[in-house]
Amino acid sequence: MSTTVGFIGIGNMASAIIRGLITSGLVNASDIVVSSRDHARREAFAAELGVRSLDSNVLVALESDILVLAVKPAQFETVCEEIGEEIEQSDPLVVSVAAGLTLRQLADMLPARTRIARAMPNVNSSLREGMTAVCVNEHATSTDEASVVAAFEAVGQVAVLDESLFSAFTAIAGSSPAFTFLFIDALSRGAVAAGMPKDVATAVAAQAVRGSASLLAGSDRHPWELIDSVCSPGGTTVAGLLELERHGFLSTVTQAVAATVARDAQLRDQG
């Protein structure tokens, strides 16, 4: 029996997930149903990918075995109230991709004993190079968890984490692309100061960072081992590393992670 996957909301993240599910062959396009307040965009999206467009959130909730809620956090309570009866009737696994809404908060908005998964993908999912954290509530089964993991592996890699670690994940996966973009821009500006055109410098720096990440990801070596492999005694790389450390590069990055974790916790408590 095929599994119907429903999406309420088809913004950038939902679109990336849907494309990944179809491209990977995990789900047939005809087994995906979507709803959105933007009727014209929904119809164009459905026509492009071959998914089914439904006229209401209620219909999507009724048809779905797995229901992905991909609306803004501020809209969650309204949407959950709208589809509550249908969730009780059809009993789907409900997957939230909203940042900041905990399993407990989601459970308070949904019918009792709803099977809930929380997934936190990052922006790189749009290229199927994402990193997603997943956790499930006490009503979800191991099969439910496996289904969510498989869905998000279609757009990158997945870590099943205790929800208490989601703030740390936000810092090193959700927010870190912005930190990395800043690092790439800083590298390129340094090259511009040495006479290189900015567009060339940015392309060179981006590829160097991408290749370095791939090298580390495909290796069982510690990052410091790879650092040492690049450094020659008295060479240029050591000079640059010492200058980074003179200005507190390592401690600044770890402090940025700590600040992100603290802010995430603050926003969660306010919610």
Binding-site residues for NADPH, in ranges, read: 57
Alpha helices (H) along the chain: 12-24, 39-49, 57-63, 76-90, 103-109, 142-153, 166-169, 176-193, 198-217, 223-230, 236-246, 249-270
Binding site membership: which residues? 8-13, 36, 57, 70-73
- Give CA angle at 113 (30, 92), nearest 5°: 5
Q: Is 137 helix (H, G, I), strand (E, B) or coil?
A: coil
Q: Is 153 helix (H, G, I), strand (E, B) or coil?
A: helix
Binding site membership for NADP(+): which residues? 8-13, 36, 70-73
Distance, CA of 2 to CA of 4 (rounded, Å): 7
**CA of 213: how far to CAs of 57, 121, 122, 178, in Å?**
40, 18, 16, 15
